[in-house]
């Protein structure tokens, strides 16, 4: 972030020739890892295709998803379907092969993909905690975006909710399903040791709580 610009570019994949509002490869996720100073920095990224044209990922979405190594820009593995939510854990990259409804883990040195679990929804949002993986499941929307991907064949059977998967076995040990009102999950986070967490603000009269952030009434110095 910057005081004069919306953001200052730090990195882009090698496959992208320039920054533009074109949604060329649909870069959508980052896995963080500590650097030599112990600071969390981007280590891996997911993209829906290795394309460098406006909306170029769309016709290739059912075959061209990839995992990218941020430091050197190399492609770690290919052949994913609309991948999301990469997470680095014990020298393996966990991510969601969303268009297949899968949880997978990748060996970064070889690019080998191991399927951990196959679930009944579009997988998006992943949190690892202990021996469990918490995975968001979504129903899919209009066919223009999701048509042609493997799980679209079972569109009517897809579910929305949060699944808890035993990482060692791939077995589902719990499932919170939303029967109505919610069709999509975009992210999942684990809050260890907390009960009944809530998000409050920025409208306390509507939310019934205090604001969680404040801004000055006028710019400083005036």
DSSP string, 41-100: EEEEEEES----STTTTGGGTTT-EEEEETTT--EEEEEESS-EEEEEETTEEEEEEGGG
Domain residues for the domain of 180 are 27-191
As for how many domains the chain has, the answer is 1
pLDDT at site 9: 85
Say if 204 falls within a structural domain. Answer: no
pLDDT at site 112: 96
Say if 173 falls within a structural domain. Answer: yes
What is the number of other CB atoms lying within 10 angstroms of the CB of residue 46? 27
Say if 104 falls within a structural domain. Answer: yes
pLDDT at site 211: 60
Say if 211 falls within a structural domain. Answer: no
Paired tokens of 83? 């991948």
Is residue 222 exposed (0-12), middle (13-18) or buried (19+ Cβ within 10 Å)? exposed
Say if 179 falls within a structural domain. Answer: yes
Phi-psi bin for 116: left (phi > 0), alpha (psi -120 to 50), beta? Answer: alpha
pLDDT at site 155: 87
The rounded distance, in Å, linking the Cα atoms of 65 and 96 is 11
Query: What is the side-by-side order of every strand in the sheet holding 65-69?
Result: 27-34, 40-47, 65-69, 75-80
Say if 147 falls within a structural domain. Answer: yes
Say if 56 falls within a structural domain. Answer: yes
Q: Which residue from 13, 9, 8, 10 is spatially nearest to 72, judged by alpha carbons?
A: 13
- Per-residue pLDDT 10s for the chain (222 aa) are 778 888 888 888 999 998 888 999 999 999 999 888 989 999 999 999 999 999 999 999 999 999 999 999 999 999 999 999 999 998 899 999 999 999 999 999 999 999 999 999 999 999 999 999 999 999 987 766 788 889 988 888 999 999 999 999 999 999 999 998 999 999 999 999 988 887 766 666 666 666 666 666 665 554
Q: What is the pTM of this model?
A: 0.84
The rounded distance, in Å, linking the Cα atoms of 53 and 138 is 28
Say if 101 falls within a structural domain. Answer: yes
Q: Which CATH number is 100's domain given? A: 2.120.10.30
pLDDT at site 35: 87
């Amino acid at each position: 972030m910057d005081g004069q610009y919306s953001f200052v570019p730090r990195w882009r994949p090698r496959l992208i020739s320039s920054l533009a509002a074109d949604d060329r490869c649909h870069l959508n996720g980052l896995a963080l890892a500590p650097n030599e100073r112990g600071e969390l920095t981007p280590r891996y990224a997911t993209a829906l295709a290795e394309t460098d044209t406006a909306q170029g990922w769309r016709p290739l979405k059912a075959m061209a998803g990839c995992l990218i190594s941020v430091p050197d820009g190399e492609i770690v593995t290919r052949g994913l379907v609309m991948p999301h939510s990469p997470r680095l854990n014990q020298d393996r990259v966990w991510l969601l092969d969303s268009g297949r409804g899968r949880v997978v883990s990748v060996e970064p040195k070889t690019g080998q993909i191991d399927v951990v679990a196959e679930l009944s929804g579009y997988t998006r949002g992943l949190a690892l905690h202990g021996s469990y993986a918490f995975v968001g499941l979504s129903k899919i929307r209009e066919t223009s975006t999701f048509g042609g991907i493997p799980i679209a064949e079972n569109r009517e059977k897809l579910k929305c909710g949060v699944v808890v998967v035993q990482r060692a076995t791939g077995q589902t040990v719990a499932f919170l399903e939303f029967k109505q009102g919610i069709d999509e999950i975009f992210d999942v986070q684990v809050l260890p040791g907390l009960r009944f967490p809530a998000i409050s603000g920025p409208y306390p009269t509507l939310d019934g709580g205090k604001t969680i952030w404040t801004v000055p009434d006028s710019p400083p110095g005036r």
